[in-house]
Structure 1
């Protein structure tokens, strides 16, 4: 629909590599452990847990009342 659309990039907010010569900075690193497929949760349970994959369910401890 817009074949020549170029998003506007404000150079004030997007520093270029030329601003940091030879500093060899690493901004971020991603670590994604392999997760084997072990099946799917039933849909009603998946809605409660927020995921359809059972190995992504994180059981959190309830906060103790003070």
Structure 2
């Protein structure tokens, strides 16, 4: 199971993807982009959530 969320860091909004590693069982957070405007970060967040919902998301550690 994975999910995405936005955090504000200084002046930027950062979109994170959090998922559970299948090998170790630990939660991992990956930075999926940094944006100056919350509106742009929200667009990226919606794209990530859509890909998670449609099972189209390829987890970063699965890419070789």
Specify the structure having the higher radius of gyration (Cα). Answer: 1
Q: Using CA pairs below 8 Å that are at least 6 residues apart, which structure has the higher relative contact order?
A: 2
- State the TM-score, normalizing by the size of structure 2: 0.23
- State the TM-score, normalizing by the size of structure 1: 0.22
